[in-house]
Each structure stands twice: as structure tokens, then as C-alpha cells.
Amino acid sequence: MAETHLSDEESKLGFSTVKFQADSALLRELGERLVGQPHIALAELIKNAYDADATMCTIVLDRDEIVVTDNGHGMTETEFLTHWMTIGTRNKQVRGVSRDFERNVTGSKGVGRLSAQFLAHKLEIITVPKEKPTQQLRARVDWDEAIQAGKLTEAEALYKLEPRGLSFPGGKPHGTRVIMRGLKQVWGAEEIKDLGRQLWMIQSPIARYGVLATEESDPNDFQVKLSSTQTQLVDTFDRQMRAALENYDAVITGELKRDGDVARVHVKIAFRAGKTYSESFEVPPLVDAARWHIRVFKLQGRQFEGVKVGDARDYLEKFGGIQVYDAGFRLPYYGVQQDWLGVEFDHSHRRNKSALLPDRLHVRRALNDLPTQGRLFGIVQIDTGREGRSAAEQEKDSGEFLKIQVTRDRLVSNNAYTTLRNAVRWSLDYYATRERLREEQNLDLRRPEEASTDKVSRISDLVTDVRRAYPDDDSIVELEREFGGLAQTVAQEREADDAARSLLGPLASAGMAALALEHESRKEMRIARGLLRKLRVVATDSGDGRVAEIADQVGAWVDRLESTRKLFAPLLDPDDRDHVEALTLGHVVRQVADNVAPLVVGVDISFEIPADIFLPAATFAEWNSLFQNVFINAANATLDRDVRRIRCVGGRTGRAAWVRVDDNGAGVDPEKSLHLFEPFKRELTISEERRALGLGGMGLGLTIVRMIAEQRRAKVSFIEPAAGWSTSFQMSWSSNQ
Ligand SMILES: Nc1ncnc2c1ncn2[C@@H]1O[C@H](COP(=O)(O)OP(=O)(O)OP(=O)(O)O)[C@@H](O)[C@H]1O
Ligand SMILES: [Mg+2]
């Protein structure tokens, strides 16, 4: 039989055949190119164990030896020869999934095991096939000799068959052990950490994951255990393998306990950031005891211990959700696939109010923060045996206790089950309310980590670099100029913000002092009126007209003094102080004018304001401070005028609404007026002695005006006054009517 595939024509033309020769340096090349890093090389062997349907794989790391043992299906002699001894075997690629569990296999190229030669000089493999667990195959490879052999076809491995002398992890009679002797690297914490990062994704989340009440095996059950005389390496490995589950945001723990006729649940929410909340509630006494521990994950933006967020998300999609363990045996029905707590349902129906929580715990839109299964990892522990024994006679008869179905994969769906389910769900809803509250608080407090000035100057530097690289590019030159401008604006804005913030302290204490004063003056006022009454009596008794006159003057003075207290009115009424709403402009300015009347005696204030203009939503107290400042400024400016006038005009221009406060005082040049809104700026051209009468005077008024306006998205400025007026202050805002 001809070994060649030469056609007659080719033979005639004098062709002869030759085979490709693989140099065994290719082995080394493959090994080193493939791996380059020892942790990836070692991980290949553990991935092979996973592909072989192992549920457990142990790695024993010693100073000069690494032994990897799995309890997978092992290899028959034929498989050893055609798969293990064939470089580039494609058996896994052909099947796509593993033999028994139909796991998605990690291997495909048929070269993974060759990376072992990168780890050690010598390799021994012992494998026992599931089909014939009485026999084991032992093979040895000396990588140095194999590579020296020259041609790959001549590289050798020795092997023999012998009676099985090994047992495998979990007491299984089949599996594979790979022993590497003469290590080429020293394994330290870094390498072990890296190994963990390669493997955590294929490991199931907890040791008892595979212990099922049904006594079946779970295809995803896979545990990797490292042991070593260097115990700190074991710790490092374990920590890294669990890292994805350590990156939680909050832990929900719950405990249900029955005591006689009552059953109570105690729930605790501990946020990683520090806060803890707890609540207790009563449930029907149909369950004797249950405990749960649920971790909630945010899975956003950041890496944790080298675990990518995307990988963590995939992992929880597979292993997440809330599982139920019955006396330590997992009920496989409950898990990420099964929405037994109805969280997915409520999400897809956009429910935002909990059906279970009492009213006092409700928080608006709380269920927006209800985590989906893919953000949860939790375990509920019960014991159906004990539930059966401890059930009351009546419940025993009616079957109302936690019971496992005959299929042993889930609980019987009765009222006891509903009690358990609701209690767990209650704790999730409670978590959602606390998270919602936290979120709301955070929104107010969130501050940029880096000062905007720093950021802008960094970008400016980059732009400058780019400009140097492309000095002739006009748009880059332009960009640099623009950035220069932006840097300046940002710096100014920051200065102004700082100045405004530095005002808050003094203002707050001034405000508190004013309130204390108001309180005191109320008492004094009562005393004054008492004395006045006595004075009137004396005036009548004595019949002296001068005393009556003095009594009237004092009376008028007390009334005036009394009315100054109105200044404080908006601060004293909680409704005015705290209630944010869209108030009508006309009412507000009239009310404020009335409140400040004692301070602006002798000024004629007129109003031209349509009734249907509404201010932006804010408290009355805010508008009171704003307009009070504007009115007092206007009144001060008119101190030198014979007829002192202020006019308030309201109106609309397009979609903007506005209010103007005009006065006939000393006048403000709108061009130069911007800086008047900065703290401590005053510019009053009125006479000395008159100025002594001026109110305010710290130069803070307009700063406060602008602060309040900006807070409510309104703009304030001085504009060109209408004929007959000297100054025109304007506030405008967008109105949607
Ligand atoms: N622990 C094991 N148990 C059973 N069979 C194994 C084991 N390790 C390797 N094998 C067999 O040896 C073959 C070669 O393994 P190797 O890791 O080199 O390639 P692969 O896993 O098929 O693909 P890849 O190169 O992508 O890892 C495997 O396809 C498998 O048939
Ligand atoms: Mg492989």
C-alpha cells in the first residue's frame, strides 16, 4: 500500500514525498509562548480537571513539588494515547461540552498540559478512568530530555498500567493526578494571588454548594483547595478565590424564631460603609426557626482584588440568588434561575412600594433599590426534620409546617413556606428602604474628589503639550486659548464659592442671635405695654394733659418697635421656613414689603404685578431674605431724595418671568454692577450723615440675594432702568406656564 498521495502524473513528473518535521524545540516554544507566567501554566492543569467533570481539585504545593489531583473522569489507555499524548488534540473542541455534566469546557487547543514543562523538569501523571476504576495508568515525562530529543516525534514519555493504588478527592475511585518535580520557580504570595485570579470564576461559591438534598451532583459544583506547608500562601489563595463575594455593599441577616404561639423575625442591615439598621416583626407561628445571610452587591465601576466587575457580574448570574439549605443540604430548586422571592417580578412590573413593610417603614420609591438576583448572594438555613418534630399537633394534622417535597429539591408550597418566603422578602424590602434613604443623603453630600481648578489645569497642561507637538495647527492654538480662559473662569468661580461659603458661619450665628433677640424683645414688649397702661392711668388721675401726650408718644413708639418684630416672622413659622412650593410673586413681594415696613419708613412702595406669575418653588423664608435685602438696598439709596419711591414690576418675556425692583435713589451703573454681588462690596454715593442711617452695611446683602436666586435657578442683575428711575434690580427665571 502506497503511503503517499502522489497522483500518477505527479510520480511521472518525478515528485517524491517528504513529511513536515516538528522540531521538539516547538515544545518549549509552545510552553513558553503559551504561558510566560507560571500561574497561568498551573491554572491550565486545574482547568483540565474542571473539563474532566471533577467536583474537587487539590493542589499541594511544596518546596520542590506541585501535585494537582482531581476526581474527574480520568483517562483510559486509549484516551491517554490519543488525547494526552497527541499535541493539539481537538477532542474538546469537537464536543464543546464536558462528558457528564455538560459544562462549557475551558480547553480547546489541546496544548494546555504542555505548559507544565514550564513549571518543572519532570512530570508524572496517574490517571484512573471512571469506566475501569480498578486500573491506573502511570506515565512519566522528562521535559529536558523530550526537548533535547530534537524531533518532536521522537520525544518520549514512559507509561505503564498497574492496579489502582490511589483514591481521589471526595473519596472517588477515579480521577487524575499530575505530579511535577524539580520546580523551576519559587512560589510566593504574588504568584498564588495570580493563580487565584485565574481560577475563582470556575469555583462554586461555598464548600457545601454541591451537597444536595437530592443526592444528585450539581454540574457547577467545583472546589479548588490549595494546601502547602507555607500556610500564609493557603490563606492568600483562599482569600483571592473568595474575593468576588467579599466585594459586597451590604449584608442582610435575618433570624426567625418561634416561642410558643408567637414567631418573631429580627432583621439587620449592615452597610459596608458603616451604618447598621435593625427591625423586628411578628409572623404567623408556622415556622420554628430559620436564619439567613444575604450579601448585596453593587457591581459598578471598580475592581476589587483584581476581580473585574464584569466577571463578578457573570459569576453572580451563575451562582447568585438566594439558596435554601435544609439541615446543610442545598435544595437545588432555589437559586438565581428561580424567582422564588418575586424580586424579578417586582422589578419588571416597576413596583415601587413594598407590599410587606408596615407604613412607618415606607420610603418613597424604595423598591427602585430592590436588588435583582444577579446582585444577591444569599443562604437561607432551615431544618425540615426539626420543623416536623416541633410542629404543634394542629399543624401536624393540617400539614402546616416546612416540609420537603418528595422530589427533595424544594419545599412544599404551604402557608409555612409562604411565611418563610415573606420573612426573607421583608428583609430585602427593608434593605431597599434603607438604601434609598442613604442614596438620598449621599446625593446632597457628594463632592468631587478633585478640585475643578486642578483638573482644568491638568487638561491645560495636556493641551499645551499637544500644541507644542503641533505648533501650526490653528484649532489646537485656539483650544489652548479657550482653556486658558476656562481655567480663569473656574478659578474665579471657586473663589466666589469659597467666599460665599465663608459667609455661612457668621450668617448662621447672626440668624440665631436675631431669634434669641426676638424672644427676649417679646418679654420686654409685654413689660413696656404694662408700664404704658399704668402711665395712662396716672395721666387720667392727674388730669395733666402733658402726661397724656407723653403716654401717647410712648404708645406709638412701642407699636413701631413691635412691628419690627415682623422682620423675623418668616423665620419663626415652620411652614414659611421649611415648606417648598411655587408661591405667587404678587403675594410674596407685598408680604415682604409689609414685613420690612418698619425699616423703610417714609418710602412709598408701589406694585404692578399680574396675579398669575409664580416664583420658582422655594420657601417663603428664602424669598423673604432675598426681597428684604433688595428693598433695604433700594430704601438706603433713596435716603437723600425728598420723595422716596420704590416700584415692583412683574412680567413675562417669552418663556421667562421676571420681577424688577426700581428706585429713584443714587443709581447703580449696570455695567459695573456685577461685582456688587461679590461679598463685602459696597458702593453707595450718599452723604456721610445719611449713611449713618443706612441699614445693613456689611456688603453681604447682594451676595445673599444671588446665593438664594442661584439655589432656585433664578438670575439676578442690575439692568438699565426705565425713564424716571435710577436703579433697576431684576430677577428672572424660566416659567413654564
Ligand atoms: N485532568 C484530566 N482528566 C482527564 N483528562 C485530561 C486531564 N488533563 C488532560 N486531559 C486530556 O488531555 C487532553 C489534553 O489536555 P490539554 O490541556 O493539553 O488540552 P485541552 O484541554 O484539550 O485544550 P487547551 O490547550 O485549550 O487546554 C485533554 O483534551 C483531555 O482529553
Ligand atoms: Mg486544557
Strands 376-382 and 329-331: unpaired
Q: Which of 667, 710, 216 is nearest to 500 (CA)?
A: 710
Q: Once rounded to an integer, what is the mean pLDDT over residues 7-29?
A: 75
Q: Which of 241, 273, 304 is the last residue of a domain?
A: 241
**Is 107 a pocket residue for ligand 1 (Cβ < 6 Å)?**
yes
Q: Are residues 400 and 465 in the same domain?
A: no
User: For residue 90, what pLDDT is reported?
Assistant: 85
Q: Are residues 440 and 489 in the same domain?
A: no
Instruction: Give the separation between CA 682 and CA 596, rounded to whole angstroms.
Output: 21
pLDDT confidence of 564, banded at 50, 70, 90? confident
Q: Are residues 460 and 426 in the same domain?
A: no
Q: Which of 563, 582, 603 is the last residue of a domain?
A: 563
Higher pLDDT, 70 or 446: 70
- Element at 399 (helix H, strand E): none
107 Cα to the center of ligand 2, angstroms: 4
User: For residue 607, what pLDDT is reported?
Assistant: 96
Domain that holds residue 600: 573-734
Residue 2 within a domain: no
Q: Are residues 579 and 550 in the same domain?
A: no
User: For residue 405, what pLDDT is reported?
Assistant: 94
Convert the pLDDT of each residue in 518-538 to its tens digit. Answer: 777 777 888 888 888 888 988
User: For residue 445, what pLDDT is reported?
Assistant: 54
Contact of 275 with 438, CB cutoff 8 Å: yes
* Domain harbouring 660, CATH code: 3.30.565.10
128 Cα to the center of ligand 1, angstroms: 15
User: For residue 59, what pLDDT is reported?
Assistant: 98
Q: Once rounded to an integer, what is the mean pLDDT over residues 71-94?
A: 91
Q: Which of 56, 134, 52, 49 is nearest to 100 (CA)?
A: 52
pLDDT confidence of 693, banded at 50, 70, 90? very low
Number of domains observed in the structure of the chain: 4
Residue 13 within a domain: no
Q: Which residues of 687-712 are buried (b: 16+ CB within 10 A; e: fewer)?
A: eeeeeeebebeeebbbbbbbbbbeeb
Convert the pLDDT of each residue in 378-430 to its tens digit. Answer: 999 999 999 999 998 888 888 899 999 999 999 999 999 999 999 999 999 99
Q: Locate the ligand 1 atom nearest the alpha carbon of residue 107 and give its number.
A: 26
CA nearest ligand 1 atom 1, residue: 49
Residue 722 within a domain: yes
Q: Are residues 555 and 593 in the same domain?
A: no
CA 350 to chain centre: 20
Q: Once rounded to an integer, what is the mean pLDDT over residues 597-611?
A: 89
Residue 600 within a domain: yes
Residue 153 within a domain: yes
Q: Are residues 65 and 159 in the same domain?
A: yes
Higher pLDDT, 29 or 117: 117
pTM above 0.75, yes or no: no
168 Cα to the center of ligand 1, angstroms: 18
User: For residue 114, what pLDDT is reported?
Assistant: 85
Radius of gyration (C-alpha) of the chain in whole angstroms: 42
Q: Are residues 439 and 294 in the same domain?
A: yes
User: For residue 695, what pLDDT is reported?
Assistant: 43
Residue 12 within a domain: no
What ligand has the least distance to the C-alpha of 90? 1
Q: Once rounded to an integer, what is the mean pLDDT over residues 682-694?
A: 50
Given a cut of 70, is residue 505 above it in pLDDT? no
Q: Are residues 413 and 492 in the same domain?
A: no
Residue 384 within a domain: yes
Q: Once rounded to an integer, what is the mean pLDDT over residues 288-296?
A: 97
Q: Are residues 380 and 441 in the same domain?
A: yes
Q: Are residues 288 and 432 in the same domain?
A: yes
**Is 71 a pocket residue for ligand 1 (Cβ < 6 Å)?**
no
Using DSSP's 3-state secondary structure scheme, residue 185 falls into coil
Return the best residue to mutate from 58, 113, 177 for the ligand 1 pocket (most ligand atoms within 8 A of CB).
Answer: 113
pLDDT confidence of 696, banded at 50, 70, 90? very low
Q: Are residues 577 and 532 in the same domain?
A: no
177 Cα to the center of ligand 1, angstroms: 13
User: For residue 688, what pLDDT is reported?
Assistant: 53
596 Cα to the center of ligand 1, angstroms: 89
Given a cut of 70, is residue 718 above it in pLDDT? yes
User: For residue 2, what pLDDT is reported?
Assistant: 41
Lowest-confidence region among 37-41, 326-330, 700-704, 729-733: 700-704
Percent of the chain scoring above 70 in pLDDT: 89
Higher pLDDT, 431 or 697: 431
Residue 17 within a domain: no
Return the best residue to mutate from 51, 117, 118, 125 for the ligand 1 pocket (most ligand atoms within 8 A of CB).
Answer: 51
Given a cut of 80, is residue 507 above it in pLDDT? no
Average pLDDT, the chain: 86
CA 54, 100, 124 angle in degrees (round to 5)? Answer: 40
**Is 34 a pocket residue for ligand 1 (Cβ < 6 Å)?**
no
User: For residue 443, what pLDDT is reported?
Assistant: 60
Q: Once rounded to an integer, what is the mean pLDDT over residues 244-263?
A: 94
User: For residue 491, what pLDDT is reported?
Assistant: 83
Q: Once rounded to an integer, what is the mean pLDDT over residues 544-556?
A: 89
User: For residue 526, what pLDDT is reported?
Assistant: 85
Q: Are residues 169 and 82 in the same domain?
A: yes
565 Cα to the center of ligand 2, angstroms: 86
**Is 176 a pocket residue for ligand 1 (Cβ < 6 Å)?**
yes
Given a cut of 80, is residue 513 above it in pLDDT? no
88 Cα to the center of ligand 1, angstroms: 10
pLDDT confidence of 690, banded at 50, 70, 90? very low
Per the structure block, which three cell numbers stand in for 191?
504568584
Q: Which of 241, 274, 294 is the last residue of a domain?
A: 241
User: For residue 682, what pLDDT is reported?
Assistant: 55
User: For residue 679, what pLDDT is reported?
Assistant: 60
Given a cut of 70, is residue 617 above it in pLDDT? yes
Q: Once rounded to an integer, what is the mean pLDDT over residues 45-56?
A: 97
Given a cut of 50, is residue 692 above it in pLDDT? no
Q: Once rounded to an integer, what is the mean pLDDT over residues 207-230?
A: 93
- Alpha carbon dihedral 714, 716, 720, 726, in 10-degree steps, equals 130
Q: Once rounded to an integer, what is the mean pLDDT over residues 2-13?
A: 71
DSSP calls for 134-196 = TEEEEEEEEHHHHHHTSBGGG---EEEEEE----BGGGBS-EEEEEEEEESS---HHHHHHHH
Return the best residue to mutate from 42, 48, 75, 100 for the ligand 1 pocket (most ligand atoms within 8 A of CB).
Answer: 48
3-state helix, strand, coil in the chain (%, to 5): 45, 20, 35
Contact of 334 with 321, CB cutoff 8 Å: yes
